[in-house]
C-alpha cells in the first residue's frame, strides 16, 4: 500500500522540475539577494555601459559571461577572471583578511570554491602516499625467515606422518662421502 506521504513527495518533485529549464547559478530562487540580482544580458551599448557602471568597472574591462555557458551565465554579471585566494598578496591590508577581499570587490561566480577553507591538498598527499605504498606491496614490518620445522610437512601433508620425512636443516657432523 502506498502512503500519502510518498505520493506527495513524488508530486512535489515533479512539480519542481520546472527549475530544470533555468540555467547557471540563478537556477534556485534565493541564491542571490533580490537587490543584488544581475539584470538581463546587455543588448546594446547603453545597457553595457550601465552594467559596467553598476559593477564599478571601466567599459573596456567589462565582459559578461557568454549566454551559451550554462554553468556560469548570470545575466549581465561580469567575468572577473579566476583570481583566487592564493593569487592575492597575504601581506596586504584586506577588509576581510580571512578571505583576502576588500569591501565591494567583485568576485567570480565560482570563486567560493577556491577560498582558503575549501582548498586543501591534504587529501592529495594522502592519496599519493597510498598509491606509493599499497600497490607496490611494501610491508610495515620487518621480514623474517620462514619457520624451520624438523620434518617435511608439505610432502607428508594429507595422510602420512611427517616424522617419516626428516629434514636436516644444518649439521656439524661431517657429510657422507
Here the cell at position 1 is 500500500
pLDDT in tens, 78-126: 888 888 778 889 899 999 888 888 888 888 777 777 677 776 778 888 8
35-66 pLDDT, tens digit per residue, is 667 788 899 999 999 999 988 889 999 998 88
* 39-43, 142-146, 157-161, 171-175: the lowest-pLDDT one: 142-146
- Give 16-75 as a DSSP string: GGGGGGS-GGGSSTTSS-GGG---PPP-SHHHHHHHHHHTT--TTT--BPPTT-TTT--T
Cβ–Cβ < 8 Å for 147, 159? no
**Measured between alpha carbons, how far is 164 from 133 in angstroms, rounded to an integer?**
44
| CA gap 148, 114 in Å, rounded | 59
State whether residue 84 is helix, strand or coil: coil
- How many residues does the structure list for the chain? 177
Amino acid at each position: 500500500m502506498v502512503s500519502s506521504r510518498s505520493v506527495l513527495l513524488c508530486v512535489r518533485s515533479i512539480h519542481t522540475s520546472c527549475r530544470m529549464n533555468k540555467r547557471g547559478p540563478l537556477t534556485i530562487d534565493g541564491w542571490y539577494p533580490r537587490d543584488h540580482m544581475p539584470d538581463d544580458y546587455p543588448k546594446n551599448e547603453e545597457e553595457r555601459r550601465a552594467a559596467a557602471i553598476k559593477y564599478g568597472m571601466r567599459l573596456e574591462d567589462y565582459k559578461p559571461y557568454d549566454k551559451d555557458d550554462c554553468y556560469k551565465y548570470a545575466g549581465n554579471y561580469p567575468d572577473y577572471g579566476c583570481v583566487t585566494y592564493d593569487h592575492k598578496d597575504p601581506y596586504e591590508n584586506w577588509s576581510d583578511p580571512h578571505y583576502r577581499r576588500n569591501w565591494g570587490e567583485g568576485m567570480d561566480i565560482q570563486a567560493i570554491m577556491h577560498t582558503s577553507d575549501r582548498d586543501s591538498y591534504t587529501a592529495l598527499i594522502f592519496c599519493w602516499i597510498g598509491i606509493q605504498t599499497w600497490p607496490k606491496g611494501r610491508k610495515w614490518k620487518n621480514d623474517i625467515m620462514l619457520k624451520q620445522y624438523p620434518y617435511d610437512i608439505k610432502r607428508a601433508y594429507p595422510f602420512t606422518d611427517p616424522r617419516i620425512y626428516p629434514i636436516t636443516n644444518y649439521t656439524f657432523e661431517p657429510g657422507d662421502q
